[in-house]
Chain A
């Protein structure tokens, strides 16, 4: 957690909001990096089966499409998981074990 440091003048409320914004953006960045790393791994595996001396145009086209497919897949998985967690927590009136 980064140092709150000295934000100079400003109300405590403003400082508090600043901390919250900083946390939100750090977590969003970490999430984006994870997504990009996964896309890199999956699309390299699927589109570049035999690495040559450069990425040819068909490999590049495949990687481009693969990025889109992965993000669509991520959205589907995300919706499914969140719906499931909500359903389980309703059924159990609490943690649900998931």
Chain B
């Protein structure tokens, strides 16, 4: 991002700032994906509030999805190891 308006220090700061904002945006995109998934799994009927079991289900969906992801990676590494 070379720009005649900003000196090297400012460019570096902007670069770091952009990197941080992009990391935040990636996190938020993941949250949207997980919420989409979890809402379908856990909130079958629209009520006046989320009950305790729906709240637990939403949180569990996120954790179990991530566990699944880690499991898949480990399993693939095991399989690679035995080839």
Contact = CB atoms under 8 A, between A and B. Distances in A.
Contact of A4 (B3, B40, B61, B69): B3
Contacts of A4: 3, 5
Most buried by B among A34, A43, A81, A98: A81
Contact of B14 (A16, A73, A79): A16
Nearest to A45: B40
Contacts of A55: none
Contact of B27 (A65, A69, A73, A82): A82
Given A16-B6, A31-B28, A80 B59 contact: yes
Contacts of B61: 77
Nearest to A61: B46
Given A12-B5, A15-B6, A80 B58 contact: yes
Interface residues of B, number: 42
Interface in B57-77: 58-59, 61-63, 66, 69-70, 73
21 contacts: A12-B10, A15-B5, A16-B14, A19-B14, A23-B17, A34-B28, A34-B29, A38-B35, A46-B46, A65-B46, A69-B46, A70-B43, A73-B35, A73-B54, A74-B35, A77-B58, A77-B59, A77-B61, A82-B27, A84-B66, A98-B66
Interface of B: 3, 5-7, 10, 13-14, 17-18, 21, 24-25, 27-32, 34-36, 38-40, 42-43, 46-50, 54-55, 58-59, 61-63, 66, 69-70, 73
